[in-house]
Amino acid sequence: MSIRADNPRAAGLEAVLPCFEAFQAARLDFAHDLGELAIPPERQGLSSNVPGGSYEVDGPEKVLEALERSDTLAASVAGLADDLAPSVRQSSMVAMGRLCLMSEALRAKVASPALIEEVVKTIAAAASPALLKTAMFLLHGCVRSPGAADAAQAAVEANALPALCERLEDADSSVKAAAVWCLAGIATHNAELAAEVANCGALPLLMLCAREPSLPLVRVAISCFGTLGKHDAAGAARVQSEGAVELAAKMLKHRDALLRRHACRLLALCLQHPGASPAARPPSLPRRLLTRLLPRRRRGQRLAQEGGAGRGARLHGRLLRQRRRARHLRVGARRPADAAVVVDRPRLL
């Protein structure tokens, strides 16, 4: 900002502006250095020149202990979540999210209801994708741990679910994936919170996310469906009524191994309930799962045991014939090579 010398207020502004600029730079440096201290130990460099780095073997443990003993940490960093400078807000949210992931004691200090309410406001009103993903990273860190049911309930009371559902319609797939992670973190604690997530209108939007071309988004959407259906039979029935179970069964043939793993998790969590309704456990699903999950040499045997001399026996015989034919083809393919070796072998004089 240029200030003209003939301006009568120039002298006052030149004296005041550096103070505010230094204050903003100090807040930014504090949030950035705190975020560096909260980097996971496996990602920290063995150097004493960076915050959180140390040549000591137990250096990260000492840093964690010092952060947990600090009495002013939460008050110092939580006030930066509503800072006027977007860069300060973003750096402070990254730092607080990492602190929540470090230990349960730090999460309990940082994840206050007032902070969660401010984060929800940022998710609902922010226009920058970077600030959005940072706010959802902090919200996920506040609600994801097993002892964070109170923080998840506070997020629901702060109207986090409508804000997250609105972000499921964002054009950026990474923003959608961050919102799905937050919904899964809220729903993972108990059946009541999972029902809150399902009742807010998130299921149809999650189905749309599961059909997106972005593979990371599809993975987290399938994982979120499994989290929604793991608590009780009612939740599993709602997941099945949206078509997520059938979609997961189709994804068992996908080329991506991690997606197949998430699909198996969804099926295991939704079909584990003994009191599940027939709609939640379709009769054609077990046979289809067997034909996709079992090894090839055991499919026919298992189906023959379950179906008698019908379709399972025929499939077993067909698989045996295919194995014999493949073995004969392999043996026949080796013979010309062996003969060529014998023919080309030089004669001894």
Tell me the pLDDT tens digit for each residue of 100-147. 888 888 888 888 888 999 999 999 888 888 989 999 999 999 998 888
Q: What pLDDT band is residue 311 in, cutting at 50, 70 and 90?
A: low
Sign (positive or negative) of CA dihedral 291, 294, 297, 302: negative
User: Rounded CA gap, 301 and 285, in Å?
Assistant: 18
Given the structure tokens 């940082």, which residue do they identify?
Answer: 110
User: Rounded CA gap, 52 and 5, in Å?
Assistant: 45
- Residue among 172, 168, 233 at smallest CA distance from 203: 168
Identify the helix (H) or strand (E) that includes residue 195.
Answer: helix 191-199
Residue 302 lies in a domain: yes
Residue 322 lies in a domain: yes
Residue 324 lies in a domain: yes
Q: What is the DSSP letter of 82?
A: G
Residue 307 lies in a domain: yes
Query: Quick check: 244 and 267 in contact, CB under 8 A?
Result: no
The residue-averaged pLDDT of 59-66 equals: 76
> Tokens standing for 293?
């999950």
Let me know the angle formed at the C-alpha of 186 by 181 and 190, rounded to the nearest 5 degrees: 135
User: Rounded CA gap, 319 and 91, in Å?
Assistant: 59
Task: Note the pLDDT tens digit of each residue in 7-61.
Answer: 666 666 777 788 888 888 888 888 888 888 877 665 555 444 444 455 455 667 7
Structural domain count of the chain: 1
pLDDT reported for residue 6: 60
Query: Quick check: 95 and 38 in contact, CB under 8 A?
Result: yes
Residue 238 lies in a domain: no
**Which three-class secondary structure state does DSSP give residue 339?**
helix
pLDDT reported for residue 338: 41
pLDDT reported for residue 344: 38
Residue 232 lies in a domain: no
Given the structure tokens 């997106």, which residue do they identify?
Answer: 212
User: Rounded CA gap, 111 and 121, in Å?
Assistant: 15
Q: List the single range of 193-202, 306-315, 317-326 with lowest mean pLDDT.
A: 306-315
Residue 305, pLDDT above cutoff 70: no
Residue 313 lies in a domain: yes
User: Rounded CA gap, 292 and 263, in Å?
Assistant: 12
Residue 325 lies in a domain: yes
Q: What pLDDT band is residue 211 in, cutting at 50, 70 and 90?
A: very high
pLDDT reported for residue 129: 87
Residue 347, pLDDT above cutoff 50: no
- What is the DSSP annotation of 141-179? HHH-STT-HHHHHHHHHTTHHHHHHHHTT-S-HHHHHHH
pLDDT reported for residue 297: 43
Residue 156, pLDDT above cutoff 90: yes
Q: What is the DSSP letter of 252?
A: G
The residue-averaged pLDDT of 62-80 equals: 81
Burial code (b: 16+ CB inside 10 Å, e: under 16) for 123-158 equals bbebeeeebbbbbbbbbbbbbbbeebbebbbbbbeb
Q: How many CB atoms lie within 10 A of CB 43?
A: 7
> Tokens standing for 143?
């609600």
Instruction: For residue 320, give its domain range.
Output: 297-334
Query: Quick check: 129 and 70 in contact, CB under 8 A?
Result: no
User: Rounded CA gap, 198 and 156, in Å?
Assistant: 12
Task: Note the pLDDT tens digit of each residue in 162-185.
Answer: 999 999 999 899 999 999 999 999
> Tokens standing for 92?
């402070």
Output the pTM of the full model. 0.72
The residue-averaged pLDDT of 219-233 equals: 92
Burial code (b: 16+ CB inside 10 Å, e: under 16) for 23-40 equals eeeebbebbbebbbbbbe
Better-scored residue on pLDDT, 251 or 280: 251
